[in-house]
Chains A and B, each alone.
Chain A
């Protein structure tokens, strides 16, 4: 057979593409459930890690059950829309932050660490190359940061990607998101030596300026949605 004919080449290419597409579709649908379970497990690990819980060699699912005592979904007026196991966890946060502020459903995870109540707030923003996201745990006063956890899709390894590491995220511990008048001001991420006006600050990553600024904007955007929640003592 003449394999150099145009018609042969065309048919060959078409058949090849269809066969491969079918095969990939099959593999993807066969593994979907398992992959989703992994994504959920990973999310639980991120939440726990914002509470500064050491996960090494531990069963994250069991720890999650132990520490996260309640999940609530609130709106921007801090009214509780729904609560119960999985209420906040199953919420599609990416879709919610695309809506208007009044229509947004906002997740809050309520954790109990050594008898103290902690509130975990979800964050999502943009880094240099792709999305960044994370969780920020507040103490009972809804002001002092107890711990944070950041993740990213594709920040530069060794530079922007360092936001996931302890030296960066541990800087947030003990910082306050409200000022003296109890107004929300967020936390600034500043280049070393620069001073932020009227708010507390942490050091940016050298060589990771855009990712650092992305973290700052993410904190401001996402934390400000919960403004009412900090004020009224929130939903118990």
Chain B
């Protein structure tokens, strides 16, 4: 067991949560972060789908890494990711139809999410399955955290609700409070992500460029 949770594995898992976050530091997967965060629920489902897909495609590629012909390795990676994404999308259609309608094209677009190709190419091709799995989980969760923070603020300030339930009481509206329509627009997600990056860099001085 000690080998499973060695110092290195811990680093692999914790790195992407903060110092090496895929969105705020590597700036990958931004397009989906903008598209699905207008409400908290699709952001959650998207996060979960990406965590599962990164982790498992990392494991599969890592298992195959010594057999994959070098010349077609990107194609093999894409096929594995595409197959997993299709399976997740079919499962959503069967068990969470409303969400799958809401996410529509974005689930398909996970295939082109840079985080996936990045992790497969940079990590899974050179590491053992367990470490790759942990790396996938770490990056997936690192992505999820940002999506959920952005989704939380956009839905709260843009629609006055969370997970579809009204949280801002009617008396606020009666007193003149208004939802911020800009929050529902994609550019606001970019501004929020930028704010997160700002706070993140202010706290971690070593991330700041000279």
Contacts and interface: CB of A to CB of B under 8 A. Distances in A.
Interface of A: 3-4, 8-9, 12-13, 16-17, 20, 23-24, 27-28, 31, 34-35, 38-39, 41-42, 153-154, 157-158
A3 B67 CA distance: 7
A134 to B, nearest CB: 15
7 contacts: A3-B67, A17-B79, A24-B87, A27-B86, A35-B94, A38-B94, A39-B97
Given A9-B69, A9-B72, A27-B87, A154 B104 contact: yes
A42 B97 contact: yes
Contact of A20 (B69, B71, B83): B83
Contacts of B87: 23-24, 27
Interface string B93-108: 1110100010011000
Contacts of A34: 94-95
Q: How large is the interface on B (under 10, 10 to 19, 20 to 34, 35 or more residues)?
A: 20 to 34
A23 B105 CA distance: 22
Interface string B101-137: 1001100000000000000000000000000000000
Contacts of B199: none
Nearest to B66: A3
Nearest to A28: B90
B75 A13 contact: yes
B76 interface: yes
Main SS at interface, chain A: helix
Contact of B71 (A4, A31, A39, A41): A4
Contacts of A153: 104
B70 A12 contact: no
Contacts of B68: 3, 12
Contact of A3 (B69, B83, B90, B186): B69
A42 B101 contact: yes
B27 interface: no
Interface in B61-83: 66-72, 75-76, 79-80, 83
B179 to A, nearest CB: 15
B97 A12 contact: no
Contact of B70 (A4, A39, A42): A4
A16 B105 CA distance: 26
Nearest to B87: A27
